[in-house]
Amino acid sequence: MIARVFLDNDMWLIVSGLFGGLKVTLKPRNITIKASRFERSHLYNILDELKNRGHRIKQDSAELTSILVMFSEALLGRGDARWQTFFHVMSCESVVDSVINENIQQQKINIQTGLHLANLDAEFKEKVFVDNYGCSKCRKLPDAGAGYNDLSFRKVKTLYDTSHESSWLSECKYCKQHFLERFRDRIDWTGQGKDPMWMYWTPLTPEEFELMNKGEELTGDMLSFIGKRTYLECDSEDKYSWKSPKE
């Protein structure tokens, strides 16, 4: 089996890999999410249903494209209401109904009864975060092995600091965008080599920065955005990557 492109338009790229994995990229934000086995098989069941109704699965068919776009939007929601609706509320039959029915818009809205689309949109935007923070320096991907001084970050305040886990408020040296900078390591019990370490930089809104800068203890609520927003990670092998939001 070779890699196969399911969809490639201005917004989305959906590719299935050599070993059956399925990756969806939201092009304007360069966010890629790998579908879980469950998410993937749900999509394939929907495509089977489309086939059973006598539609040929050919690339560029309007029905296939609609299904793939719905799937991508739901996938990016990572467990939110939109995701729940697509993967748990709508049956495969109702997804196919919604794309082959003449009255598509009406159907889609009916299926999502009780879910307010405006709220969904707001939630969706918050989860993927608006990547319009910072400047080209702090949004750039550092080279593997880059040292702290090669980065554009500067610590401005220590929030807490222990030998295995620390947090700081940082800013970009160039544009002053604030970040939550975190460090953690895992103790290498074998005693061989150094403990593997990770660093993370998550961009902060001005409100979040202000709240954390007051010096109050960090609560789960204050940190609830972590992992729901694109952040920079330096892994235990000093490789840097921008990570996608996840639930």
- Summarize as ranges the residues that interact with Zn ion (CB under 5 A): 134-135, 137-138, 172, 174-175, 177
Contact 141, 240 (CB under 8 A): yes
Residue nearest to Zn ion (CB): 172
Whichever of 177 and 244 has its CB closer to Zn ion, that residue is: 177
Q: What stretch of H or E contains 58?
A: none
Q: Which sign does the torsion angle of CA 61, 62, 66, 67 carry?
A: negative
Whichever of 4 and 155 has its CB closer to Zn ion, that residue is: 155
* Minimum separation from the CB atom of position 32 to Zn ion (A): 23
Report the candidate in 226, 202, 213 with the shortest Cα–Cα distance to residue 138. Answer: 202
For residue 204, the one-letter residue type is L
* Minimum separation from the CB atom of position 153 to Zn ion (A): 9
Whichever of 137 and 239 has its CB closer to Zn ion, that residue is: 137
* Minimum separation from the CB atom of position 226 to Zn ion (A): 20
Whichever of 154 and 243 has its CB closer to Zn ion, that residue is: 154
* Minimum separation from the CB atom of position 84 to Zn ion (A): 36
Q: Which residues contact 229 (CB under 8 A, 6 or more apart)?
A: 127, 128, 129, 202, 203, 245
